[in-house]
Amino acid sequence: MPMNEEPKWYILHTYSGYEAMVKDNLEKLIENNNLGDYIVDLKIPMEQVIEEKNGKKKIVEKKLLPCYVFIKMIYTNQIWYYVTSTRGVTGFCGPQGRPIPMKPDEIRKMRLEEVVSDEVFAIGDTVSVEDGPLKGFFGTVKEINQAAQKAKISTTMFGRETDVEVEYIQIKKVDAAMPEASADDAE
């Protein structure tokens, strides 16, 4: 493995319905050609949805993005050839079939890697939202779910107290005096 290169996430386009077969074929390719140092991970993003059939509800896993497989690898021309020659692969997403690595925020949004926050929150902590749709809001921690790395915070939206659930990586502890100071500045 090239010592100076870190594996990056790329997006593979496949024929419709071939995602699982492509993933299996790539896993065999990695094993047969000893490419574990170059191709590190393969994912097909799934989501759980509730389907109702004949009056019965059932939880079913569906592909979040049909026709796409995510691959974490170190890009070389040889690896590109192996991957694009795999049955069911139409090519990489990028200009002229050459892959472009995904950005960190895209990786986080697609939940390709688990991001664990090392910050510890307690009920009553004042936090600022650093990322997501509530970026810039302040709130107070009402509940914490350490296992899921989520917290329920109470924040003021449109003049009302609202409870929202956020991930640990989206929030940061602040001094209790900070939100009031910024509210006074706004007046």
Both 27 and 96 in one domain: the answer is yes
User: Of 83, 109, 135, at which residue does a domain stop?
Assistant: 109
- The answer as to whether 90 is a domain residue is yes
Pairwise CA distance, residues 127 & 110, whole Å? 25
Quote the tokens at residue 146: 């350490």
Residue 145 pLDDT > 90, yes or no? no
Quote the tokens at residue 67: 């026709």
Pairwise CA distance, residues 109 & 112, whole Å? 8
Both 58 and 83 in one domain: the answer is yes
- The answer as to whether 121 is a domain residue is no
Both 18 and 72 in one domain: the answer is yes
**What is the tally of structural domains in the chain?**
2
- The answer as to whether 73 is a domain residue is yes
Lowest mean pLDDT among 16-30, 74-88, 141-155: 141-155
Contact 172, 119 (CB under 8 A): yes
User: Of 109, 139, 158, at which residue does a domain stop?
Assistant: 109
- The answer as to whether 114 is a domain residue is no
Write out the residue range of the structural domain in which residue 178 sits: 126-186
**Mean of the pLDDT values across residues 166-187?**
63
Indicate the average pLDDT of the chain: 84
**Mean of the pLDDT values across residues 150-177?**
84
DSSP string, 62-87: EESSTTEEEEEE---HHHHHHHHTST
Q: Which residue has the higher pLDDT, 10 or 57?
A: 10
Sign of the Cα torsion 24, 45, 72, 10 reads positive
Both 67 and 16 in one domain: the answer is yes
Position 159 scores a pLDDT of 84
User: Of 52, 74, 109, at which residue does a domain stop?
Assistant: 109
- The answer as to whether 2 is a domain residue is no
Both 83 and 146 in one domain: the answer is no
Residue 186 pLDDT > 90, yes or no? no
Both 164 and 98 in one domain: the answer is no
Q: What is the CATH number of the domain that holds 32?
A: 3.30.70.940
Lowest mean pLDDT among 15-29, 60-74, 129-143: 129-143
Q: What is the identity of the amino acid at 29?
A: L
